[in-house]
Amino acid sequence: MKMEHYQQEVSQLHPGEDFEQRTISLLLRQKPVVRPIRRRWIAAAAAICAAAAALALWIGIPAAAPIHPPETSAAETNPPATAPAAETEVLQEVFTAKLRLSGPPNDEGWNWVYHLTPEEGGQEGYIEAVKGDKKFRFMTIFDVVEGVPDGEGGWDFPGKGLSLIRWRDDGAANEYVCGYDYPTYSIRTGCIGWSIQKHDGGFRLIEYRFGFIQENNETPPEENGENWPVAYGFTFSEQELAAVGIEVEEYARMTKDFLRYNKLDGIMR
């Protein structure tokens, strides 16, 4: 009986809405790249023949005894064990969660507002968390890079090692996409992440950073000669959060929602 219940409950587990379609789109965007194996084998065979001819000349075999190249190539007589392989271009990271940045707020009513320019955000831009009349600076924006068309329908972001190869354009709800850099994410060192925003007929990449709550309010370590709270100026203590009326747990859930939900809804490489 218990296992029947288990089976019923498991049968209710389904991926998110339109997951299949998103996955299919992702796979169709993988670009098969065919190595011309046959031509490579032919070229290799020709190179071997040429080398053999050169060697023959060097050791004194008369030129009247030419080394005839095979009428059929090595590839034809000894085809590779497997057929010519299509190699797919691997996407470095694939995030497909639903975007919520410019859509409805998270379950607790928090939303995020981008202040990109110095005019809007002072010396550095910032991302502001907003819930009713509560608001505070959630992240620091430290770089904004305009995308450059890559000629194949995608956009490169110079100096960032990222390209947008597909934008899932299904309305205003997807004004932004976001991602974050796993290796730089840490409860101690904070997070460096990025968003991509439609802008001026193209796209721009917005790089941001933020910190996390200090564990047990311990003094953060010196890292790379920089004091952590200074380097990542948005690392909050419980007291600082309380000053703006936010519970530690609420902040943590908000942060997690940002990371979980505000992930990429385009495809990057």
Partner 1 sequence: MKGVALIIQIGAEQHSHAHDETIQTAVAEYSAMLYRIAFHQLRSAADAEDAVQSTFVKWLERKAPFDSEDHQKAWLIRTVISRSRHLLDSAWFRRTVPLDTLPEDTAAPDPGNGVLDEVLRLPPKLRTAVYLYYYEGYKVKEISRILGVGEPTVQSRLRRAREKLKIELEDSL
Q: Which residues pair with 156 in a beta bridge?
A: 148, 163
Q: Go through 141-179 and write b for each residue having 16 or more CB atoms within 10 A of its CB, e for each that does not.
A: bebbbebeeeeeebbbbeeeebbbbbbbeeeeebbbbbb
Residues 6+ apart with CB under 8 A from 121: 115, 141
Interface with partner 1 includes 104 (CB under 8 A)?
Answer: no
Q: How many CB atoms lie within 10 A of CB 263?
A: 20
| From 8-16, 111-119, 138-146, 220-228, span contacting partner 1 (CB under 8 A) | 8-16
Interface with partner 1 includes 238 (CB under 8 A)?
Answer: no
For residues 144 and 177, which CB has a smaller minimum distance to partner 1 in the complex? 177
Residues 39-68 that bind partner 1 (CB under 8 A): none
For residues 110 and 114, which CB has a smaller minimum distance to partner 1 in the complex? 110
Interface with partner 1 includes 23 (CB under 8 A)?
Answer: yes
Cα dihedral 141, 115, 136, 133 in deg (nearest 10) = -160
Interface with partner 1 includes 27 (CB under 8 A)?
Answer: yes
Structure-block tokens of residue 56: 């023959």
For residues 7 and 239, which CB has a smaller minimum distance to partner 1 in the complex? 7
Interface with partner 1 includes 260 (CB under 8 A)?
Answer: yes
Contact 88, 94 (CB under 8 A): no
Number of residues located near partner 1, criterion CB under 8 A: 57
Q: Is 123 exposed, middle or buried (0-12, 13-18, 19+ CB in 10 A)?
A: exposed
For residues 38 and 137, which CB has a smaller minimum distance to partner 1 in the complex? 38
Question: Site residues (CB under 8 A) for partner 1?
Answer: 2-3, 5-7, 9-10, 12-16, 19-20, 22-24, 26-28, 30-34, 82-88, 90-91, 94-97, 106-108, 182-183, 185-187, 215, 249, 252-253, 255-257, 259-261, 263
